[in-house]
Amino acid sequence: MNLQWLKSSPNLTKGIGVINELEDARFEHFLRRIVSKLKTQSSEIFTEEEMQKLEKIFKITHDDLLLSVKTIIYIFKRLHKFIFMPLDLKNDLKEIGFNNEKADFIVKVWSSDTRLTLNELSGDSINDSSDSLHFSWKLNAELSSDTCKKSKVPKAYLTLAGDKETSVIELTHSELYSMFIQFESIQNELDNLI
């Protein structure tokens, strides 16, 4: 096994072996629970009572159940740091030792979790960039300062006001010109994409 996103260890190999032995019919629910608790960053994924029930359901020891939970957490934390195509991910999971069914379950849960995350992110950006964003500007001239008497420094004040917050940016002529050049290059890049 030579995967860039995951380093092999004896515990990982043993954890994968334990996971492969878990009953398929109940594994997806077990997996979804772990991933949902991982998203909320809850310190306790299962209560002690739930752990005892899972031991009976899956017919495994407490240590093996704990190892399977830790293995899933480790794999999903690693999955969040890389970009995958589902088929490539499934092949990688099979390469590290998961059987076909467990690899399918993991890819299915990972896909739906990733889709939800991306939808949340895109929903936030759509809401944040709604038509309620207002832009205004004004010009002032700074005639003197503590360091320089009788100087004339033109300044532009840009105000960006949204529903929740307002930002004011103070720019000198050179800073404003630099920003304009950057906006122009962004516009060119967007035009090239179309």
Mean pLDDT of each 10-residue bin along the chain, 194 residues long: 80 94 92 87 84 93 94 90 86 93 93 78 54 79 68 81 83 84 83 75
Same domain, 123 and 138: no
Q: Do 48 and 73 share a domain, yes or no?
A: yes
Q: Are residues 84 and 139 in the same domain?
A: no
pTM, entire model: 0.61
* Number of domains into which the chain is organized: 2
Cα separation values, 1 from 7, 91, 100, Å: 9, 11, 17
- 103, 127, 151 — which closes off a domain? 127
Instruction: Please give the angle made by the CA atoms of 180, 183 and 187, to the nearest 5 degrees.
Output: 135
Q: What is the domain extent for residue 172? A: 134-193
Whether 117 and 140 share a structural domain: no
pLDDT at 126: 45
Closest CA to 154 of 146, 143, 168: 143
Residues 27 and 109 in one domain: yes
Q: What is the CB-side half-sphere exposure of residue 115 using CA atoms within 13 A? A: 8
Decide which of 127, 155, 185 is a domain's last residue. 127
Cα dihedral angle (99, 104, 110, 115), rounded to 10 degrees? 170
